[in-house]
Structure 1
Amino acid sequence: MEWKHAIKEYQMYLKIERGLSKNTVDSYTKDIEKLCLFFCKNKITISPININSDLIKQFIYDIAKQINPRSQARIISGLRSFFDYLIFEEYRVLNPTDLLETPKIGKKLPDTLSQDDIDALFSAIDLSHPQGERNRTLLETMYSCGLRVSELITLKVSDLFFEEGFIRVLGKGNKERYVPIHKDAESYISIYKRTIRTHIEPKKGFEDTLFLNRRGKGLTRQMIFIILKDLAFKIDLKKKISPHTLRHSFATHLLQNGADLRVIQQILGHESITTTEIYVHVDKTYLKEVVETFHPRK
């Protein structure tokens, strides 16, 4: 079996059997391609069926000089998944990554913004042009609903259920969930649709896409990054932020105001409560207040 053929089959498995998004599939693929590049650079010829743990160790030792432990751990995880697939398909018996030690990494707490930071960021949006109105609407929607950037740019007009107070979100693995939307975000969307979007002619395939660029196509992930980066520069924000920062901030602010962790889990679309629990570590003050307020021996 050639690497190219194995990777192609693996991509189909991730997409169809596991229902992973294109971005996730691409990420898994890049890990395997890094391994192939290492073999090519060192003139090593071996198939994915015959590769052994010693060669994997050589590869990890080589990339460890270039990347941090967190990235190493992610690549090892990606390779382990690939070889598990080959075992599942009965191409192999053993996983050559089983004996690898994953680098120890601390739990990385998400960056968050205060409510004042959020207000300052949104206030810096220039509303004198149509893109400003759109940008305010999309950022308010992202923060109001705790959306991933991929969920924001794929949001459709037909996903809006304002009478019920929800929007429909297509999350990781094409899993659908319904998320409550704040009345302010709902109002901004209504204004944007009525005064801005209605004057844009959508290109074919984007007729139902909510947020459009000036050419009638959907926005890219990079565009959302640029919008936030420019706003952060305008208010001289001394933090490195990304679209995910708004999602982290949304969850942290809900927790600070007394929301139940499992409710936050459902809104964010986390499969496991352990993923949501990271926000508990962000705000230990909240935990202290909960104990002092509700403990029977207070």
Structure 2
Amino acid sequence: MLDTLLELPFALNRHRDAPLLEERLAFLKYLQERGTSRVALRNVSGQMLHVIDLLKLKTLRDVELGEVKEAARRWGEQQRANAKARSYVRTQSYFEYVAKNWLRFAGRLKSTPTPRPWFTDHLEDFARWMTEEQGLSPLSVRSHQWKASRFLTWLAGKHPSLASVRLQDVDEFLILQGSTRWNRTSVTVAAQALRSFFRHAERRGWCKCGIAEGIAAPRRYVHEGLPEGPTWTEVQRLLAGIQGKSASALRARAILSLFAIYGLRSGEVSRLLLSDFDWSAETFAVTHSKRGGTQRYPLQNEVGEAILEYITKARPRTDCRHLFVTLHMPHRRVETSSLWRLTSHRLKAAGILCRRNGPHSLRHACATHLLQEGLSLKEIGDLLGHRSAMSTGIYAKVDITMLRRVADFDLGGLL
């Protein structure tokens, strides 16, 4: 295999003479069988030599995860003086990626199990209560559970249990986060989550009564929630500016079209399956993130063509049935974090400057455009998957006079 990857004789001899030849070839063959490109295999092959060197591997022994991270850190520091390295952080990340995947493949990556925090059972019980008794969506449950977890992790250094928690502790945490990390809106949402958690904790008898009712959120101003996204002209320029027939360009065009034309959330796009599309009826189904349930949408011509071109010319052949998958092995669905990076990168590349650069900015742009076209808040809410008109009402702040304009709206006229 090395003969097909390496062309220069000295490089070929270096790889053949290095330790653990059979183990390295077995991993490279494993990657090759799963569709890894020749260039990627060559990069992995070279990086494994550095892994061997920094981990001092004479045999393929058990390696702790902390040892891998430390070796990656040393490798990153070495690369600071290397002009050929794109960035030492990227190199460090790639070193760790190759080392962990190789050792995991060989069954040699060991990680010390971390002890469960004392509040783990409380969080799990809180999540069950929100799901089974409150009927909250999985997204809302994860959000409340995460915010409660942040508070309890911070609290663990001060108190051994919830029994000794005071209202002043909650106030101190929210003030700290508001002054160092979160904006006023984030602190308000966190206060709501903690209020819900402590109501549940009080019912369970985990803490003193009265804490939930005493949690105060910061004041939010009338225009604080104004949408901060691109104008519709900028959205049109964004979509028109995605040129080329590369796999990344075709995938980006399809993804951004769904965000802009339908105002879908990143989780809704990430979850789309190939089977969600009925090409004969020209419709597709979306499972909403917040309100739950499935809704069918008419497939707009330009969006349908962009998706078909991606499927036929760019989507890798894989057993994964999600519509949008990673371009490199192992193929899996594109996560919401990757969708955020893709959208942010494309907006910046198009010279579109706005405070919010993720998919939600295109959702704002879509809603505002529909409002300007004369659609009612009810109609816009139906498209966006809002549970109530109050959620949609934020877009009325942009131009309330547009609500009085009634016009026929053709989804095909958006592009």
TM-score range, shorter chain: 0.7 to 0.9
Distance 2:204 2:285 in 1: 35
What stretches of structure 2 of length at least 5 have no aligned partner?
A: 1-117, 407-415
After TM superposition, the score normalised by the length of structure 2 is: 0.61
Aligned residue number for residue 323 of structure 2: 210
Aligned residue number for residue 310 of structure 2: 192
After TM superposition, the score normalised by the length of structure 1 is: 0.83
Q: Is the 8 A contact 1:124 1:234 kept in 2?
A: no
Q: Is the 8 A contact 2:377 2:392 kept in 1?
A: yes
In the alignment, which of 377, 383, 388 is matched to residue 261 of structure 1?
A: 377
What stretches of structure 1 of length at least 5 have no aligned partner?
A: 291-298
Percent pairwise identity: 22
CA-atom RMSD, angstroms? 2.6
Q: Kindly state the Cα deviation for residue 146 of structure 1 after the two structures are TM-superposed.
A: 1.4
Amino acid at match of 1:195: K
In the alignment, which of 300, 325, 338 is matched to residue 182 of structure 1?
A: 300
Q: Is the 8 A contact 2:230 2:352 kept in 1?
A: no
Aligned residue number for residue 213 of structure 2: 98
Aligned residue number for residue 123 of structure 2: 7
Give the length in aligned residue pairs. Answer: 282
Cα displacement string for residues 61-114 of structure 1 (whole angstroms, at most 9, x for unaligned residues) = 444432433222121111011123335557668451212332101231112322
Distance 1:268 1:226 in 2: 22
Q: Kindly state the Cα deviation for residue 19 of structure 1 after the two structures are TM-superposed.
A: 4.7
Structure showing greater relative contact order (alpha-carbon pairs closer than 8 Å, 6 or more residues apart):
1
Amino acid at match of 2:200: Y
Distance 1:50 1:171 in 2: 40
* Counterpart mapping for 1:1-298 below 5 A: 2-17=118-133, 18-21=135-138, 23-41=139-157, 43-45=158-160, 47-48=161-162, 51-66=165-180, 67-87=182-202, 94-106=209-221, 107-173=224-290, 174-197=292-315, 200-203=316-319, 206=320, 208-214=321-327, 215=329, 216-240=331-355, 241-287=357-403
Q: Is the 8 A contact 1:145 1:182 kept in 2?
A: no
Q: 1:128 to 1:196 in 2, by over 3 A?
A: closer
Q: Is the 8 A contact 1:56 1:97 kept in 2?
A: no
Q: 1:185 to 1:16 in 2, by over 3 A?
A: farther
Equivalent position SS for 2:236: helix
